[in-house]
Structure 1
């Protein structure tokens, strides 16, 4: 095994993402060869890494898990077991997995889960411009001009949103494709124009579609979907 940074080592074990690994290291919950680990530590094959006293090791490729889940309204995209509505307990997958990004509690639709921590940042970072498509219904008729304003950019959380392609589905319904993931972005964009979101459903992440997957159920990504995911994110499978 090549020597790698400790946050990557932890994420490759399926324990959590690199960002969460950094948080655990900073909180003093990680040890390297019996000593408190530091951000940026380098780990080799003979080193012993523990999180909260539990030794972890990188997973082999054949143990990587990639799930597509059709999240119902009312389920929270968190691994925090203190939340009774957390996504992990709801799914009940037999191995440790975690969600890639979030879908707010009152929204439904596609969310990906994995034990491959190296995949999280390449999918989520805004600079990679990975598409996520949503079906939106608002509380009143929306004009073509208003859809164009949504498309070209709205002030949200101190910045102008990226170009977001829109397509009308009805007088108060439309699809929108985002390439960034600001907190409650679509709801905030609609609110800026005086609309309230009645329903919000994510139907696609990059090349992965929700298709006919029933609400509240999950499936494994196909081999072709996983290979394409690795290709698009520049990750080796």
Structure 2
């Protein structure tokens, strides 16, 4: 695999950070300076700052993201997740939740599990509670459930149920950019609050806004088996 992917899977650093270290000639492969995008094998001798790389302990976190926070831990970005989660080891968010939205984000340094969760073909469920700017009727619920044309594609059929006059629950199995906001806009509605409350078997219950917790062993076993 490429050096960027290997180091990410090892929980060592991000792909962007790998490129930065390559530019600084800090990574060697079998005694030669590494180049961007280089293919490597696990039995290659890979050194960073003349030290061999090693597998990091895997970290799995559930975080309740506040509104106004960007889904990154890049220090150059203001108001990011790193303001709430300060880990010395490298971790990254699995997927994104736009800045205007709030709710559940999984963070880890396990690249393999992250890819499995994000793979669209796996049709993994993500559940949201959505508040609109005005009341809606049954035709809105039915239209949303059947799929909506946005960004040149039709969204997958999904589960949508009414909670109150202007609040609904939706369960998606894909993650297009600002999907729920764009779907709602197609019917003439504006989302004024969007909260993700579940990713697969991981729920936001008991996590205050801006707080996080480590996944339980039971949660992790079930998550890895999905």
Question: Where does residue 19 of structure 2 map in the other structure?
Answer: 24
CA displacement at 1:49 relative to structure 2: 4.4
Stretches of structure 2 that go unaligned for 5 or more consecutive residues are none
Stretches of structure 1 that go unaligned for 5 or more consecutive residues are 233-237
Aligned 8 A contact 1:16 1:117 in 2: no
How many aligned positions are there? 222
Give the match's secondary structure for 1:42.
coil
Q: Which stretch of the first structure deviates more once superposed, 115-124 or 195-204?
A: 115-124
Please give the alpha-carbon distance, in whole angstroms, between the structure 2 residues aligned to 1:164 and 1:56. 47
CA displacement at 1:10 relative to structure 2: 1.1
2:130 maps to 1:132: no
The superposition leaves residues 125-172 of structure 1 with CA deviations (integer Å, 9 ceiling, x where unpaired) of 211101000000001111111111111111111100011110110011
Please give the alpha-carbon distance, in whole angstroms, between the structure 2 residues aligned to 1:56 and 1:90. 31
The superposition leaves residues 66-87 of structure 1 with CA deviations (integer Å, 9 ceiling, x where unpaired) of 0000001111001221112111
Question: Where does residue 72 of structure 1 map in the other structure?
Answer: 66
Question: Where does residue 47 of structure 1 map in the other structure?
Answer: 45
The superposition leaves residues 179-231 of structure 1 with CA deviations (integer Å, 9 ceiling, x where unpaired) of 11111110011111100001000000001111121111000000011111111
2:6 maps to 1:12: no
TM-score, normalising length: structure 1 = 0.85
Question: Where does residue 227 of structure 1 map in the other structure?
Answer: 221
Please give the alpha-carbon distance, in whole angstroms, between the structure 1 residues aligned to 2:29 and 2:88. 28
Question: Where does residue 116 of structure 1 map in the other structure?
Answer: 110
Which of 65, 87, 99 pairs up with 2:93?
99
Which of 151, 160, 171 pairs up with 1:166?
160
The superposition leaves residues 14-49 of structure 1 with CA deviations (integer Å, 9 ceiling, x where unpaired) of 1346xx369839x85764233334646132335114
Q: Residues 44 and 95 (structure 1 numbering): CA distance in 2 closer, same or farther, change over 3 Å?
A: closer
Give the match's secondary structure for 1:43.
coil
CA RMSD in angstroms comes to 2.4
